[in-house]
Each structure stands twice: as C-alpha cells, then as structure tokens.
Amino acid sequence: MLKVTNLECVRGENSLFKDINFTLEAGELLQVNGPNGSGKTSLLRILCGLAKPAYGEIQWCGNSIRSLDEEYHSVITYLGHLNGVKDNLTAIENLSISCALAGNEIDENKAYGALQYMGLGGREVLPVKVLSQGQRRRVTLARLLVCSTVLWILDEPLVALDSTAVDLVQRLLEQHLDQGGMVVMTTHQDIKVTAVLTKRLQLV
Amino acid sequence: MFLWVIKRDLLLAMRQRADVLTTLFFFVIVVSLFPLGVGPEINMLRAMAPGVVWVAALLASMLSLERMFFSDYLDGTLEQMLLSPQPLSLLVLGKALAHWLVTGVPLALIAPILGVQFDLPIDALLVLTASLLLGTPVLSLIGAIGAALTLGLRGGGVLVSLLVLPLYIPVLIFGAGAVEAISVGLGASAHLSLLGAFLLLSLVFAPWAAAAALRISLE
C-alpha cells in the first residue's frame, strides 16, 4: 500500500515541509490540511509522481513509485486544480477521451450514465466552454465514477460545487473507501466521509 | 491509446479550424510574395523556388508549434497525459503525428499549386511534394522537442524558433536540394533517401527527447 517516508519539498530556498511520514491502507482516507501556501498541492503532485521530492521516498506496495512509473499510474487517479477538460470538446467527448488516455476505455452508455449521475443530464453534448465552473468540475469528477483505480489523489475536489454535488462526491468517496479504495485529498470545506480510518495531516 | 491522442487532436483541430487555416494561408502568402517582390524574371524564379517554398514551410510549421502542448498545459489535460499508464513518448509521437496531419500534409498538398507561380516543371513539382511529405513530419517531431522545452516560459514562442530553426537546417538543405537536383537533371533519389533517413532517426529519438522535456517542464 502507500508508504511515505521522510518526505521533504523545497521551493527555491525555502523548505515547504519536511519529515512527512504516513502510510495508507485499503479503505483509509487521508485529509491534508493547512493554510494557503503550506504545500498541499506540492505534496499531492509529489504523491502522484508529477514532481520529485527533495528528499524522501514514496512506496507503493513495497516498491518505489519511481521504479514502478507507468505501473503506478495505472492504479492512481489524480484530479488537480485544473479541471483537465478541453473547452472545445463536449462533456461526453471529454469524459471518454480522458478515460481512454488513462488506459480505461469506456463505452458511450457508461459515459452517459456517469454524466447523468453527476447531474449533467441533457448537457452531455454541449461544448464544455458553455458550462459553468461548477458544471465543469462535475465533468471532471465524473471520471471518478468510471475509473477502476485504487488510489485517488484529489486536490480541492469540492471547489465550485453546490451542496447537492458536495453530497454526491461524499457518497462517491464513501463507496470507494467501502470497496477498499484509498483517498488522499485536500479541502477547505467540512466534509463528512465515513472511512475505516480517517487520517489527518497538518501542514504548517 | 496512441490512436486516441491522434483522434483527440484532430477533433480539436476540426473545432478550431481558424488555427489550421492561418498556418496554411501564412504559407500561401509568404510563397506568393516572392514572385511579386522579385519580378517576373523566369530563370531567377525557377532557381529560387525550392528554397523559398521550403523556408516558408519551415516558418509555417514553426508558427503552429506552440499550440502542440501549450493549450493542453493550460487546461490541465497535459498533466493527465503524463499520468497515463502508457509510455509518454508514445503519446508525444501521437501528438506530433496529429500536428503533421493538420499542418504538414496541407502544406505539401498545396505546394505544387504554388510552385506553378515559379514556373517549375511537372517533375520538379512532384519532387517538391514528395520532399515536403518526407520532410514536414521531421519538422513536427523536432518541433515537439522545442515546444516541450519552452512550455510555460515567457516569450516561449520566440525561444522555440531560436531553438528549433537551426535544427531544421539539414531538412531544408536536402528538401530544397532534392528539387534543385531534379531541375538540373541529376535525379532526386539521393536527397529523398536522406530525408527518409532523417525521418526514421527523428521518429526514434524525438518522441523520447520531447517526453523527457515535458516531464521537466511540468515539474
């Protein structure tokens, strides 16, 4: 499972955080808290392998994620600050293409189902540029419904969402954790997700 | 997966046809300016035609390089591609191929029409098209490295031309050389073979180098 030892991140001359240690087992949720600029996004980017830590190691099932590389990518889903949707494509195209590029081709019915579940029924074939911020976020989050990855790394997934969508995401996370998934997330909002174990990591 | 990248980029190009057309019109206008500027001296036009068409093709292809990764970088789809379980170099190859399909191929197809302005004979026009078809994918592949290296930098557009244009020189020499050779009756096969060799070489090395550059740029 996920094991992080002595992680340190340096930006310029400053050390953002150091000596971060935690493990994450099946069904566990890790909530990363901290003020703006404390390195939450940097931590998540390091966890998914987009950035290199200044020091320390991240292991997935006993192997360093550096050595696993593409194998590790097939077990994680990362949703960052940026929505990762193309303005000129429709919601349905965005969803099927991003899933296909993540190595998980889905058929059209499944994609329609996921968008409907996220409350985007009737807006599937609109180009994403005409959707609101919250609706774009929903298109992004719809990927969680159809992916089959174990570890979800979510950077502020609730930004721009209304309360119904927040409930949807909470249920989605609970379901995922229930099935033995793992979640690492940052959020400034209060979110109640029942997990086997909820760990908190405070960055200063 | 590889096909999905191509499909995606072609779909995006279809939705933003203006971008594709600007490149093509840029090429047409630059090539057409020369006969107007130089005057109707037919021997001189014939002699300079291959060079003019090829330089315009280099510039047109370079003009569209920034688009290859930049919009994906801005909206976050590029970082999702980096997290794909497929090798990144394969993805880059797909993007370079899509770039070639929307810029290189139209340039090669319209070049013979423009060549008529320079009074090029039929066989020279055919060789011109063939050399462009072999050479423009090399431009897209080498350009991918430059575009990946300058991703997210201020003034990246100018920087990419400084980085990439010197690397285009061999393609220019042998591309234009092929047309000159056929015009003087030497046969173009040697030049075209060399262009083919460049293509093979860049197919192997450029995606790998561009993938490494992307990883650095996104860190």
Question: Going by C-beta distance under 8 Å and a sequence separation of 6 or more, which residues neighbour residue B62?
Answer: B139, B143, B160, B161, B164, B165, B168
Q: Do A84 and B77 touch (CB under 8 A)?
A: yes
A98, B82 contact by CB (below 8 A): no
Mutation pick from B6, B7, B14, B77 vs chain A, by most beta carbons of A within 10 Å, is: B77
Decide if A6 touches B, using CB distance below 8 A: no
Determine whether the interchain pair B15/A88 forms a contact, defined as Cβ–Cβ distance below 8 Å: yes
The pTM assigned to this predicted structure is 0.90
Nearest C-alpha in B relative to A53 = B219
Chain B residue with CA closest to A93: the answer is B8
The number of folded domains in chain B is 1
Owning domain of residue B101: 2-218
Interface of A with B in 39-68 (CB under 8 A): 48-52
| CB spacing of A70 vs B87 below 8 angstroms | yes
Q: Each residue's pLDDT tens digit in chain A (204 positions)? A: 899 989 898 888 888 888 889 999 988 999 998 888 888 999 999 999 888 889 899 999 988 888 888 889 999 999 988 988 999 999 999 999 999 988 888 888 889 999 999 888 888 889 999 999 999 999 999 999 988 899 999 999 888 888 888 989 999 999 999 998 999 999 887 777 777 778 888 888
Q: Could you tell me the domains of chain A? A: 1-75+151-204 (3.40.50.300), 85-148 (no CATH)
Identify the helix (H) or strand (E) that includes residue A8. strand A2-11
Q: Is B199 on the interface with A (CB under 8 A)?
A: no
Q: How many residues does chain A have?
A: 204
A151 strand-pairing partners: A76, A182
CB distance B16–A82 less than 8 Å?
A: no
Beta carbons of A103 and B218 less than 8 Å apart: no
Structure tokens at B12: 């995006």
- For residue A12, the chain B residues in CB contact (below 8 A) are none
Tokens found for residue B126? 């055919």
Q: State the burial class of residue B14 (Cβ atoms within 10 Å of its Cβ: 0-12, 13-18, 19+).
A: exposed
User: For residue range A190-202, what is the model confidence (pLDDT) as tens digits?
Assistant: 777 777 778 888 8
HSE at residue B56, side-chain half, CA atoms within 13 A, is 24
Q: What is the rounded CA–CA span in Å between residue A89 and residue A40?
A: 30
What is the value of ipTM here, to two decimals? 0.88
Question: Taking CB atoms and an 8 Å cutoff, what residues of chain B touch A70?
Answer: 84-87
Q: Give the other-Cβ count within 10 Å of B49's Cβ.
A: 27
CA distance B162 to B164: 6
Q: At what angle do helices A108-117 and A91-101 cross, to 10 degrees?
A: 120
Interface probe with A: pick from B2, B7, B8, B72, most Cβ of A within 10 Å = B8
H/E stretch holding A31 reads: strand A28-33
Distance CA B85, CA A70 (A): 5
B123 to A40, B115, B184, B213: CA distances (angstroms): 63, 11, 11, 41
Chain A residues near residue B86 by CB distance under 8 angstroms: 70, 101, 103
Query: Which of A74, A83, A88 lies at the smallest CB-CB distance from B12?
Result: A88
Residue the block writes with tokens 């350009």: B143
Per-residue pLDDT tens digits for A45-54: 999 988 888 9
Cα→Cα distances A164→A26, A119, A122, A152, A173, Å: 27, 9, 18, 21, 14
